A and B are shown apart, each in its own frame.
Chain A
Amino acid sequence: MESRSVRERVLEGALLCIGRYGLARTTVDDVAAASGVSRATIYRHFPGGREQIVTDTVGWEMGRFFLRLGEAVAGASDLSSLLEHGLAFARRALEEHAVFQRVVDTEPDRLLPLLTVESFRILPLIGGFLVPYLERECDAGRLRPGADIGRTADYLARMVLSCIGAAGVYDLDDPDEIRLLVREQLLPGVLAPGTILVERP
């Protein structure tokens, strides 16, 4: 059996355990039972033991969350619809993520430091995903004159992550408000003046 699939089995089992017992209470024995992988094999793949398993599982699941998000919006026709659909999908997916909701409610002190560390890795991933869409807007002459695609992607990635995590003043459960946020706050300054449609049919 190749190492990668063993690692994934452990991570999957650990995610199950975290959903059941929480971050603090998940033990290597729990993970062994849930994943069907022996303790010895687990320690071979995760020499840091319980702490490493928990940390790696959070990072792995966060990465998978954004992979699923990327897949969900892959067919977006332009930057505007990408951002609108992406935000809507991501917020719903986060709402429906049972393990995340349980852990953020009961153990935010353990979860949030892990997520914050992971965000350093996730931000460039989101930015990288946005670059082709920005390039397309640029080719179509719709990017703000003088815009730097790399810096724009970084900025949008940060703001997207921020909006996924917290709604603030806009009601981001309402698709119309998401559209407002995208067109009033996210896109202005990124797209050229006059290219962002404000009126709705």
Chain B
Amino acid sequence: MTAEPIATAPEVTARVVDGALRAIARYGLAKLTVDDVAREAGISRATLYRYFPGRGAVLAAVVESETERLRRGLDEALADTATLAEALAAVAGYGARAFAGHEALQHLLATEPGAILPHLCFSGADGLLRVAADRIAPHLCRFMGPLEARRTGEWLARIVLSYGLAPPAGPAEAAVLGVVSEFVIPAAEERAGAAGG
């Protein structure tokens, strides 16, 4: 039995989410049980069930937590950027690193692609691109209007997704940054020049 010194909802949630991600990275999604999650989280089943009625609730918490983590990560990645070029590279680089470095995601892509690809392709991609556009756009608004910021944000997300799902020969982050530097930054600077004069 593991000792559980704390039990506030946010703390339990954090442990459950971390535990779930570790469990998914190890066992995948199909066979994931609440017991696996509780064990990885270092809490009892009873405690887990007190806060999460079942697998579905755990997974929903994981998605919410990861979305929030991405948002914070994006903020951090953009904190020191001053120019449009730096901002675009920071967004793309962060996205590529987050995708490649996400152990649970990478495990699922390798061993249970059917479980995760519907969220990353076609209608899943549609939703994801729009969320990405919404999250990225505010960071680009200091350089361009809000509509262009959304479109540019979506474009960066498309690039990250494409190289994430169909990785190139070398490291994906380098390829993403290469493409952003070769095509996206000149395009954005050209538009900014045309607009601002």
Contact = CB atoms under 8 A, between A and B. Distances in A.
Contacts of A184: 148, 151, 191
A115 B183 CA distance: 27
Contact of A155 (B157, B161, B182): B182
Nearest to A119: B166
A104 B118 CA distance: 9
B166 A168 contact: no
B130 A169 contact: yes
Given A144-B186, A189-B183, A108 B117 contact: yes
B170 to A, nearest CB: 13
A198 B195 CA distance: 12
The B interface, classified by DSSP as helix, strand, loop or mixed, is helix
Interface in B103-129: 113-115, 117-118, 121-123, 125-126, 129
Contacts of B130: 168-169
Interface core residue of A161, A184, A188 (most chain B CB under 10 Å): A188
Contacts of A163: 158
Interface residues of A, number: 34
Interface residues of B, number: 39
B58 interface: no
Nearest to B181: A189
B179 interface: yes
A155 B183 contact: yes
Given A161-B162, A169-B150, A189-B187, 8 more contacts: A115-B121, A116-B117, A148-B182, A159-B159, A162-B158, A168-B133, A170-B151, A193-B190
6 contacts: A144-B186, A155-B179, A158-B166, A169-B130, A188-B187, A189-B185
Interface of B: 113-115, 117-118, 121-123, 125-126, 129-130, 133, 148, 150-152, 154-155, 157-159, 161-163, 165-166, 178-179, 182-188, 190-191, 194
